[in-house]
Amino acid sequence: MSRLVAVIVGSLRKESVTRKMAHALIAASPPSLAPSIVEIGALQMYNQDLEDAGAPPEWQAFRRAVSAADAVLFVTPEYNRSIPGALKNALDVGSRPSGKSAWAGKPGAVVSLGFGMLGGFGANHHLRQSLVYLNVPVMQAPEAYISNMATLFDDAGALKVDSTREFITKFMASFAAWVGTIAPA
């Protein structure tokens, strides 16, 4: 039985390198995982007044999609040494209403990307800090800081760096083992 994995992409741009990496991670997944992207771009900014009025349908659909997943994989670029605002908003939307967080207890992993050599280190650790509060047990190793992201994909969007392909294949195998450890079938 394949475990459903909600893949949350921090970048909203359709042709972003981060989205391309999410697709590469999905392709590198072992058969025990069934990952698919859960979109965050249509989520209104979290506002308690909207929650009190019955929660927008986009929030409700997002919460259902995350709740239905067995695990979560976050793929994020680094914006100003942190995560993009849209990703933070998705964390907030999924964590509400209080006591009914869609994230709670789901095994997770973080893949961060950066243009420089640090591979989104700041975003990776900033996201992990929020995930601790949200009770998402995050895989500790291997860590995934993907550097030089502008050089990873060809014009058709295919991953062209063999060492990165090998790494993400091993990473996804480790994530599958982590999911099996934290949320056994």
**Residue 14 per-residue DSSP state:** T
Beta bridge partners of 35: 5
Which pair of tokens denotes residue 161? 């760096």
Domain count within the chain: 1
CATH number for the domain harbouring residue 101: 3.40.50.360
- List the domain range (segments joined by +) for residue 159: 3-182
- Which pLDDT tens digit goes with each residue over 92-139? 999 999 999 999 999 999 999 999 888 899 999 999 999 999 999 999
Would you say the C-alpha torsion 104, 108, 114, 117 has a positive or negative sign?
positive
Is the per-residue pLDDT at 185 higher than 80?
A: no
Question: Is-contact 102 67, C-beta < 8 A?
Answer: yes
CB environment 137-151: b (16+ within 10 A), e (fewer): bbbeeebbbbbebee
153, two tokens? 């994909």
pLDDT tens-place string over residues 145-176? 999 999 999 999 999 999 999 999 999 999 99
Region 8-33: mean pLDDT is 97
User: Burial, 13: exposed, middle or buried (Cβ in 10 Å; 0-12, 13-18, 19+)?
Assistant: exposed
What's the pLDDT tens digit per position in 36-67? 999 999 999 999 999 999 999 999 999 999 99
Stretch (H or E) spanning 8: strand 3-9
pLDDT-based confidence at 90, cuts 50/70/90? very high
Alpha-carbon distance 74 to 26, whole Å?
Answer: 12
